[in-house]
Structure 1
Amino acid sequence: MSPLEGLGKLLLLFGVILVVIGLILIFGAKIPYIGRLPGDIYIKKDNFTFYFPLATSIIISIILTLILSLLNRR
């Protein structure tokens, strides 16, 4: 495998990842419960709002780990 072939595969992988992220951003509001799971931290005071989607981040991380591990098998 030449260095350019490896670079081409890496660029294709980044392109696929960007497409998936773009689709999530476009259709993310229509996916139920994403960003509103129990375990997501939401604090609202007078003029201050803090939101950290902890549970959502963990679920997305697990899903991406499973997908990438399946794609990485040879």
Structure 2
Amino acid sequence: MFRWILTIFIALMLFSAALPWLEKLGVGRLPGDVRFTLFGRTIFLPFASTLLLSLLVLALGRLLR
């Protein structure tokens, strides 16, 4: 259980760090990505981008196996 929590935490940190670079490629601005402002803070929920990146990692994993 702890390994999964640690894995998800690290993946979220990597995605957050890579987000400015990925936005230049169009990831983060897909239909299905939600961005709204609440109490002066911008909240970003990248549903479609996460799905796209997950599918790419899955396909890459299948090819390398």
Q: Counterparts in 2 of 1:1-74, with a 5 A limit?
A: 27-31=21-25, 33-72=26-65
1:51-73: CA deviations, max 9, x gaps? 0111000000001100101101x
Question: Structure 1 residues 39 and 45 mapped into 2: Cα distance closer, same or farther (>3 Å)?
Answer: same
Q: Which consecutive unaligned segments of at least 5 residues does structure 2 have?
A: 1-14
CA–CA distance in structure 2, aligned partners of residues 38 and 52 of structure 1: 11
Structure 2: distance between partners of 1:42 and 1:25? 13
- Is the contact between residue 23 and residue 29 of structure 2 (CA under 8 Å) also seen in structure 1? no
**CA deviation string 1:4-57 (max 9, x = no partner):** xxxxxxxxxxxxxxxxx8xx66843431x2110010011113412210111000
Task: State percent identity of aligned pairs.
Answer: 29
RMSD: 2.4
**Relative to 1, partners in 2 of residues 1:27 and 1:50: Cα closer, same or farther, differing over 3 Å?**
closer
Do 2:31 and 2:48's aligned partners in 1 also have CA atoms closer than 8 Å?
A: yes
Runs of 4+ aligned structure 1 residues displaced above 4 Å come to: 24-27
Quick one: distance in 1 between partners of 2:42 and 2:20? Answer: 24
Size of the aligned set, in residue pairs, is 49
